[in-house]
Amino acid sequence: MPGRVLTTPEADADLAAAFDWYEAHRAGLGSDFLAEVAAVFSYLEGFPEAHAAVRGETRRTMVHRFPYGVFYIIDRDSVAVTGVLQDSDDPFRGRKIRRARRQLTQLCPAIGLASCHGLARRTDRGSMN
């Protein structure tokens, strides 16, 4: 069972950018963010399989108190954190929006609407918040 949590250079850059952003908004908030991320890393050391895969072998868990997800892959002897992204930067989000638009487009004629074009565009904007 993996024990060590390792971060990729991309994940390190994500953490540094988030830390800087939070510190610029309130002194000490960046440190609070890093403490919450450290708690996630500590949890992943013991329970890396607690979270479902979101795509392929990539899994995601959320950071408590902050809208960030930790993306990781379980290796034979470690957990590799590949990214720490704000929830709105979810790399699989575009696919979710396209799927929702497709479902909406199929639903509109079934309920008597001639077109869902405007409705689908509002759905896209609403999901970005």
pLDDT digits (tens, 9 = 90+) for 20-40: 999 999 999 999 999 999 999
Given a cut of 80, whether residue 123 has pLDDT beyond it is: no
Give the up-direction half-sphere exposure of residue 57: CA atoms within 13 A in the CB hemisphere: 8
Ranges of CATH 3.30.2310.20 domains, the chain: 4-89
Name the pLDDT band for 76 (thresholds 50, 70, 90). confident
Structure token pair of residue 52: 């479902």
Alpha carbon distances (Å) from 17 to 21, 25, 84: 6, 13, 10
Q: Which CATH number fits domain 4-89: 3.40.228.10, 3.30.420.40, 1.10.274.10, 3.30.2310.20?
A: 3.30.2310.20
pTM comes to: 0.69
Given a cut of 60, whether residue 104 has pLDDT beyond it is: no
- Residues 47-69 pLDDT 10s: 999 998 988 899 999 999 999 99
Structure token pair of residue 80: 């590799």
Q: How many residues does the chain have?
A: 129
Contact status, residue 115 vs residue 108, Cβ threshold 8 Å: yes
Which of 39-48, 95-104, 109-118 ranks highest by mean pLDDT?
A: 39-48
